[in-house]
Structure 1
Amino acid sequence: MNETTNPPSSSYSKRNMIGLFLGPALFLLTYFLIPDSIMGHEPRVVLAVTMLVATFWITEAIPMAAASLVPIVLIPVLQGAEMGTIASAYANPVIFMYAGGFVIAIAIEKWNLHRRIALGIIGMIGSQSQRIILGIIISTAAISMFVSNAATALMMLPVAVALIKEVKDKQILSGDNLRSFSKSILLSVAYAATIGGLATIVAAVPNAVLAGIAYEQLGRTVTFVEWFMFAGPVALLMLVILYFYLTRIAFKITKNDEEGNTGNIDFIKEEKKKLGKFNYNEFMVSIAFGLTVLLWVTLPFIEDLDFIHDGSVAVFGALLLFFIPSNKKGERILEWQDMTRLPWGVLILFGGGMAIAAGFSSSGLNEHIGDLLGMLQGLEVFFIILLLVVIVLAITEILSNTAVANLVLPLTLGMGLALGIDPLPLMAAAALSAGSCYMLPVATPPNTAVFSAGYLEIGDMAKAGVWLNLASIVIITLAVYYWMPVVFGL
């Protein structure tokens, strides 16, 4: 048979096929089984579309970014909400903030500034085994505050693997000590990349979704500084727990005369030599990056300029990089072809989540959800937050944190309004919980990346992840209930 007449092999896995059929089925059941006397046409359309999109996200029946465009087609066509309401969600100012951050991150990677930062921090901390772990944690978390956790993990993974090979080749550590060091350093990369992203509004997808929904639905601007003051201590506490758990409990290295000390490692010096001296291009990227962060930090405190959104600042910092010439003839620090590396799909994912939230609000679906949540009316806010953190943490170990954030944050908005409490703390609890994925290799890209190195077993990650999840439950709940009102003046 001719090659052109051969039937194509299936492009869909079993999971995808389930989603292709289950999504439309749930859409029809949701719309037609709910009586019009209970819920009107508009909220039923929005709820049905949400069920369809959620199924496509969970099963990845089609790419997640493509599924995120479904609301802009179905909700206006089926008259669940106006086109302008849904379409404007895809141009939320927070999306531009995240896009600007992505562009700056591309420049940092292009000119290898991230490797210099990481190697410099490890070099300063020291080369004893525990100090190397600490250096990896600090450098990974620092980069992850401004670069996506997936990109950060992929940046740091080669450094971690090279350190493992150096220790093994020079027989500085052996046996159980080598295995403990290998597992500890890889888990440090995965977990520090995740934890670092919690601290800023620009690094973790759930944080950005929260800021976008708060801006669109509550008319509140969650600034870079506010979020950092609130979530920074949460991330710091988690990093301290991570370091002591990995080095003193889970993967403790026995310190014999010749073991536990990796002082002879010259990998760091060799890698820094390869990078060469700090050059003009790195300096220019540092200037643009530093200026962006400086504006994020200072503008909220200047009363006459507090109308400037963090999104404008991020795009300004990104635009600078297209103006500044590099030391390569005829080339600027960033050229437009570099934008092929911009994760457009993630930006559309943001838009999809915010479009669903806009549909919830404009159709009146939030009020219906609120009625269903009336049973929680008598519960203390503390226990509502605790329950929310536990549920979201459990869900996000299985599903994409982007999908969880897009689905749960609109619900928490409706929950807060229904219970007569400020929705922002509930949204913050959900966002931080959705961004905390530690137990499974599939839970988050950093986990997947380090697991692919071949040094870890699922049991290693699950065991460490359980304890980090328990720590997250306590720290996030306490921070949202006691610390967030102080920072945000709630």
Structure 2
Amino acid sequence: MTEETQDKPTYPTRAIVGIILGPLLFLLAYFLIPSSQLEHAPRFVLAITLLIATFWVTEAIPMAATSLIPLIFIPLVGAADIDTVAASYSSPTIFMYGGGFVIAIALQKWNLHRRIALNIIDLIGTQSQRIVLGIIISTSLLSLFVSNAATALMMLPVALALISEVKEKEILTGKSMTHFSKSILLAVAYAATIGGLATLVAAVPNAAFAEIARRELDRTVAFYEWLLFAGPIALTILVFLYFYLTKMKFKVDAGNQDQTIDFIKEDKKKLGKMSRDEISVAIIFGITVFLWVFKSLVFPENIAANMHDGAISVFGAVALFFIPSTKRGERILEWRDLKELPWSVLILFGGGLALAASFGQSGLNTWIGETLQLLELFTPFIIILLLVVIVLAITEILSNTAVANLVLPLSVGLGIAVGMDPLLLMAAAALSAGSCYMLPVATPPNTAVFSAGVLDISDMAKAGVWLNIFSVIVITLAVYFWMPIVFGL
């Protein structure tokens, strides 16, 4: 046992606060709300939600362990039946997300992600602004299908090597070098987050949106449908990010930028030609993405309707276990490779869906809807704007998964209360929960790039606040004007 482990307390102060505060909020909510206002089942679900939310926020126990609490207590008191709660942990959307994780593991195992990134940067150019653009494009493309955390960890070594190369060759110096270093790291963090907004498989809030819509509203949201809606949102924010980093916040003088950056070409040479294993992964990856996007165009309607995106994702993952690799006696993926699979994220996701299902079955959504009827005084546009601002602000300090798990079920009741299609408010909440840029703790990509020691908190906060403001505007306008067109609402 290391000295660091010995000194680390079993329960940090934050966790102790959660262990005390969570049960206290549970008791207050359950016993102070009169039964004439809220019956036993919805009152218990509300109380247990407050306890779980407190545990999530304070990490009183691991977040995945907290996410199993609904499975224990909600059926026990009859607030929802065990079949409904347990089914949430194995929903089709969880399989879609899990399959995406497995494919991402294959991309990393055979280094295909690095080849993609280096080729994009080499294609776009090696001047400082073009390097930043290359980082934004390659990071955002990867994050369409890989979690933002994994994408940031893949791209961070590339970004740091670029910074080192520019510094060693004195291509940039002084303030310009500082600006380049900060802009390229922020590009990794922000592009990893923004790219994930565009697909259902890259961000938990998006996947939660699709699953809750399926369960609570009987509305299937297809992969291509969300991509058509959220893709332009992500692209718009990425364009703003590029111009903000390179033209406004971190402008770089031309300097000696006629010098070439050998790092890219040298690393491409080291990678050599695409191996048979990389080609195999690329083919499976390509087939999976193709089916996600174009299944309704390729297959008859009756077949496409039964071909859930989760099944397609699992198909891609399972196929990788069949294909032999160039390593003797091995395949592209072996079961031991799945030790990298973030099972905790899948359980966390399941816990959120379990709460959402309990909201509906217990009748809590109806009570929330009645309580929120005062919002009818506002116009739909203002309601969407307020929701986006509130959720985005909360997400800066809390886990976006936890926020999405709590807010998405509430959005259903809110939509019913104010006479709006709940899908609009759920989409606004999901996109806002996935957009957090100001603090190192806001997202794993922010934490990853901050750990490099180049950025100050003020750098991230000042850049992030403008990105937040722009995101509020774009998300609100897109949900109000563009989403009804795409989804036919």
TM-score by shorter chain over 0.5: yes
Cross-structure match for 1:273: 269
Taking the aligned partners of 1:73 and 1:157, their CA distance within structure 2 comes to 40
Alignment of 1:290-329 (within 5 A): 290-301=286-297, 302=299, 303-305=301-303, 306-329=305-328
Alignment of 1:32-431 (within 5 A): 32-256=31-255, 258=256, 261=257, 263-301=259-297, 302=299, 303-305=301-303, 306-431=305-430
Which whole-Å deviations, capped at 9, do the CAs of 1:327-377 have from their partners, x for residues lacking one? 111000000111111110010111001000000000000011011101011
Which whole-Å deviations, capped at 9, do the CAs of 1:439-476 have from their partners, x for residues lacking one? 00010000000001011001110000010001001000
- RMSD over aligned CA atoms reads 1.1
- The farther-off stretch of 276-285 and 263-272 is 263-272
The total of aligned residue pairs comes to: 481
Taking the aligned partners of 1:290 and 1:145, their CA distance within structure 2 comes to 13
Cross-structure match for 2:446: 447
Question: Could you state the TM-score of these two structures normalised by the residue count of structure 1?
Answer: 0.97
Taking the aligned partners of 1:300 and 1:91, their CA distance within structure 2 comes to 25
Taking the aligned partners of 1:278 and 1:134, their CA distance within structure 2 comes to 24
Instruction: For residue 28 of structure 1, report the CA deviation from its aligned partner.
Output: 1.0
Instruction: Look up the equivalent residue of 2:419 and give its one-letter code.
Output: G
SS at match of 2:320: helix
- Structure 1 residues 31 and 8: CA distance shift in structure 2, 3 A: farther
Instruction: Look up the equivalent residue of 1:291 and give its one-letter code.
Output: I
Taking the aligned partners of 2:274 and 2:44, their CA distance within structure 1 comes to 57
- Structure 1 residues 419 and 117: CA distance shift in structure 2, 3 A: same
Instruction: Look up the equivalent residue of 1:130 and give its one-letter code.
Output: Q
Instruction: For residue 8 of structure 1, report the CA deviation from its aligned partner.
Output: 9.7
- Structure 1 residues 118 and 8: CA distance shift in structure 2, 3 A: closer
Instruction: Look up the equivalent residue of 1:336 and give its one-letter code.
Output: W
Instruction: For residue 9 of structure 1, report the CA deviation from its aligned partner.
Output: 6.7
Unaligned runs of 5+ in 1: 1-6
Question: Is the contact between residue 225 and residue 300 of structure 1 (CA under 8 Å) also seen in structure 2?
Answer: no
Taking the aligned partners of 2:195 and 2:234, their CA distance within structure 1 comes to 6
Question: Is the contact between residue 223 and residue 300 of structure 1 (CA under 8 Å) also seen in structure 2?
Answer: no
Taking the aligned partners of 1:75 and 1:457, their CA distance within structure 2 comes to 44
Moved over 4 A (4+): none
Question: Is the contact between residue 118 and residue 139 of structure 1 (CA under 8 Å) also seen in structure 2?
Answer: yes
Cross-structure match for 2:3: none
Instruction: For residue 308 of structure 1, report the CA deviation from its aligned partner.
Output: 1.1
Taking the aligned partners of 1:456 and 1:419, their CA distance within structure 2 comes to 44
- Structure 1 residues 408 and 116: CA distance shift in structure 2, 3 A: same
Taking the aligned partners of 2:258 and 2:293, their CA distance within structure 1 comes to 39
Instruction: Look up the equivalent residue of 2:377 and give its one-letter code.
Output: G
Taking the aligned partners of 2:270 and 2:477, their CA distance within structure 1 comes to 46
SS at match of 1:173: coil
Cross-structure match for 2:14: 15
Which whole-Å deviations, capped at 9, do the CAs of 1:378-410 have from their partners, x for residues lacking one? 321111000000001100001010110001001
Instruction: For residue 272 of structure 1, report the CA deviation from its aligned partner.
Output: 1.1
Cross-structure match for 2:466: 467
Taking the aligned partners of 2:275 and 2:8, their CA distance within structure 1 comes to 50
Q: Between the two proteins, what is the percent identity of the paired residues?
A: 67
Taking the aligned partners of 1:300 and 1:69, their CA distance within structure 2 comes to 36
Cross-structure match for 1:4: none
Instruction: For residue 420 of structure 1, report the CA deviation from its aligned partner.
Output: 2.3
Taking the aligned partners of 2:259 and 2:146, their CA distance within structure 1 comes to 30
Instruction: For residue 79 of structure 1, report the CA deviation from its aligned partner.
Output: 1.6
Taking the aligned partners of 1:123 and 1:231, their CA distance within structure 2 comes to 28
SS at match of 1:39: coil
Taking the aligned partners of 1:351 and 1:70, their CA distance within structure 2 comes to 11
Instruction: Look up the equivalent residue of 1:116 and give its one-letter code.
Output: R
Instruction: For residue 419 of structure 1, report the CA deviation from its aligned partner.
Output: 2.0
Question: Is the contact between residue 167 and residue 262 of structure 1 (CA under 8 Å) also seen in structure 2?
Answer: no
Which whole-Å deviations, capped at 9, do the CAs of 1:38-81 have from their partners, x for residues lacking one? 10000011011101100000000001111000000011112211
Instruction: Look up the equivalent residue of 1:288 and give its one-letter code.
Output: I
Taking the aligned partners of 1:263 and 1:443, their CA distance within structure 2 comes to 37
- Structure 1 residues 104 and 423: CA distance shift in structure 2, 3 A: same
Question: Is the contact between residue 436 and residue 469 of structure 1 (CA under 8 Å) also seen in structure 2?
Answer: yes
Instruction: Look up the equivalent residue of 1:304 and give its one-letter code.
Output: N
Instruction: For residue 414 of structure 1, report the CA deviation from its aligned partner.
Output: 1.1
Which whole-Å deviations, capped at 9, do the CAs of 1:190-232 have from their partners, x for residues lacking one? 0000000001010011001101111111111111100000000
Question: Is the contact between residue 72 and residue 83 of structure 1 (CA under 8 Å) also seen in structure 2?
Answer: yes
SS at match of 1:295: helix
